[in-house]
């Protein structure tokens, strides 16, 4: 019997959690979260972690299982997620994965390139250089050390050149190994023990943006300000370079007002959702549904995909 990983993708605030629970209950299986910020137990409100009712409605994995003080990479997640899936598939041949972190989705579905360990001193130097010279220095360094990959990003995915965490990683690999970052990617991947069925959720832009604005207001009402204030002393940590926290840290610094910070959270979350859609729309073999689509119709589609696969094998 084939194993199937139903993977739900889409922008933030689109309703992925509620669909994942409905599917998990229907197929009597577990849910793996691949939201790279919901891993951290200190971040709850600002990362829209499923509430107690949602968590009790289905078995969840990789929700608040790490600390912001731990170093946890996408490669670590890939290994742990695949091991957990092997365990879960012994119980049921259908499992669910859900989340808005495209890189983490790709790592599980397609495999993550194998990078060597880098000396922590190099990492510290890169972070320090970024703090003093900004992202332009990272861009220039990558262009010098790996011009092919820099030009590929410039033409195919220019927003990545503006992502500090990704750029630090590229430069870290180049400096730490003495080889271009691109020499480590697109290596032979391990075979997967499952067939992915990818479900995308979408909505009209105005609808999505309204849902995002409402979610931010709800987060503020639920106590996001107090949550961010507890984390403020550790604002330099990678996990806290996150929309919803960065803006409030600026408010605590006294550089902006609270109202302005809230509006910035809404604006930056909308921009983040746009980047998510750009990423996910490139996902091969994804089938997209309106976020209000009847769950029964989505289940009917999934069942058809499973039947078609079984009949062809």
Which residues fall in the annotated binding site?
10-17
201: β partners:
289
9: β partners:
200
What tokens appear for 171 in the block?
A: 């430069």
Backbone φ and ψ of 134, nearest 5°? 80, -175
Binding residues for ATP: 10-17
Do 250 and 256 form a contact (C-beta atoms < 8 A)? Answer: yes
Could you identify the residue written with the tokens 């409605």?
57
Q: Where are the beta strands (DSSP E) in 100-193?
A: none
Binding residues for substrate: 12-17
**SS3 string of 180-224?**
CHHHHCCCCCCCCCCEEEEEEEECCHHHHHHHHHHHHHHHHHHCH
Could you identify the residue written with the tokens 């790592």?
107
CA 268-273-278 angle, to 5 degrees, is 125
Name the DSSP letter for residue 32.
E
């Amino acid at each position: 019997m084939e194993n199937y990983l139903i993977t739900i993708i889409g922008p933030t605030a689109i309703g992925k959690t509620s669909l994942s629970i409905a599917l998990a209950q229907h197929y009597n299986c577990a849910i793996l979260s691949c939201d790279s910020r919901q891993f951290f137990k200190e971040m709850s409100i600002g990362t829209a972690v499923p509430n107690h009712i949602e968590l009790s409605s289905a078995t969840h994995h990789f929700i608040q299982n790490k600390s912001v003080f731990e170093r946890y990479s996408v490669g670590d997640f890939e290994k742990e997620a695949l091991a957990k899936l092997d365990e879960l598939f012994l119980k049921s041949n259908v499992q669910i994965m859900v989340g808005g972190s495209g890189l983490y989705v790709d790592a599980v579905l397609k495999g993550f390139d194998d990078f060597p360990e880098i000396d922590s001193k190099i990492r510290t130097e890169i972070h320090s250089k970024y703090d003093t010279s900004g992202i332009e220095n990272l861009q220039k360094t990558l262009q010098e050390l790996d011009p092919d990959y820099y030009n590929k990003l410039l033409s195919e995915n220019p927003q990545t050149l503006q992502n500090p965490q990704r750029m630090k990683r590229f430069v870290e690999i180049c400096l730490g190994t003495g080889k271009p970052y691109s020499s480590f990617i697109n290596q032979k991947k391990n075979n997967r023990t499952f067939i992915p069925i990818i479900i995308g959720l979408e909505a009209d832009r105005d609808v999505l943006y309204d849902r995002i604005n409402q979610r931010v207001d709800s987060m503020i009402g639920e106590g996001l300000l107090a949550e961010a204030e507890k984390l403020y002393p550790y604002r330099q940590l990678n996990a806290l370079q996150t929309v919803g926290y960065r803006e409030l840290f600026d408010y605590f610094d006294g550089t902006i007002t609270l109202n302005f910070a809230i509006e910035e959270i809404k604006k930056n979350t909308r921009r983040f959702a746009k980047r998510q859609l750009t990423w996910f729309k490139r996902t091969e073999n994804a089938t997209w549904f309106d976020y209000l689509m009847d769950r029964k119709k989505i289940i009917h589609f999934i069942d058809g995909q499973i039947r078609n696969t079984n009949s062809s094998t």
